[in-house]
Amino acid sequence: QVQLVQSGAEVKKPGSSVRVSCKASGGASASLAIGWVRQAPGQGPEWMGGINPMFGTTIYAQKFQVRLTITADKSTNTVFMELRSLTSDDSAVYYCAKPPYYDRSGPFYFDLWGQGTLVTVSS
Amino acid sequence: DITMTQSPDSLAVSLGERATINCKSSQSVLNTSNNKNYLVWYQQKPGQPPKLLISWASTRESGVPDRFSGSGSGTDFTLTISNLQAEDVAVYYCQQYYGVPRTFGQGTKVEIK
**Is 90 exceeded by the pLDDT of residue A54?**
no
Q: How many CA atoms lie within 13 A of A88 on its CB side?
A: 2
> Contact A109/B107, CB-based, under 8 Å?
no
Nearest CA in chain B to A96: B49
Task: Select the residue of B49, B52, B106 nearest A109 (Cβ to Cβ).
Answer: B52
Phi, psi of B102 (to 5 degrees): -60, 145
Nearest to A34 by CA among A94, A91, A93, A89: A94
CB contact under 8 A, B102 and A47: yes
Handedness of CA A99, A5, A45, A53 (dihedral sign): negative
**Which residues of chain A are within 8 Å of residue B50 when distances are taken between CB atoms?**
45, 110, 113
Q: CA separation (Å) from B17 to A37, A117, B8, B28? A: 33, 36, 17, 31
pLDDT at A28: 64
Mean pLDDT score, A10-16: 98
* Averaged pLDDT for residues A16-28: 91
Q: For the segment A94-104, what is each residue's pLDDT rounded down to a tens digit?
A: 999 999 999 88
pLDDT at B11: 97
Is the Cβ of A111 closer than 8 Å to some Cβ of chain B? Answer: yes
pLDDT tens, position by position, B27-73 = 999 999 999 999 999 999 999 999 999 999 999 999 999 999 999 99
Cβ contact, residue pair B49, A105, below 8 Å: no
- Report the 10 Å Cβ neighbour count for B107: 22
Across the interface, of B40, B49, B107, the residue whose CB is closest to A114 is B49
User: What residues of B are in contact with residue A59 (Cβ under 8 Å)?
Assistant: 100
Query: With 80 as the cut, is the pLDDT of residue A12 above it?
Result: yes
Cβ contact B49–A95 (<8 Å): yes
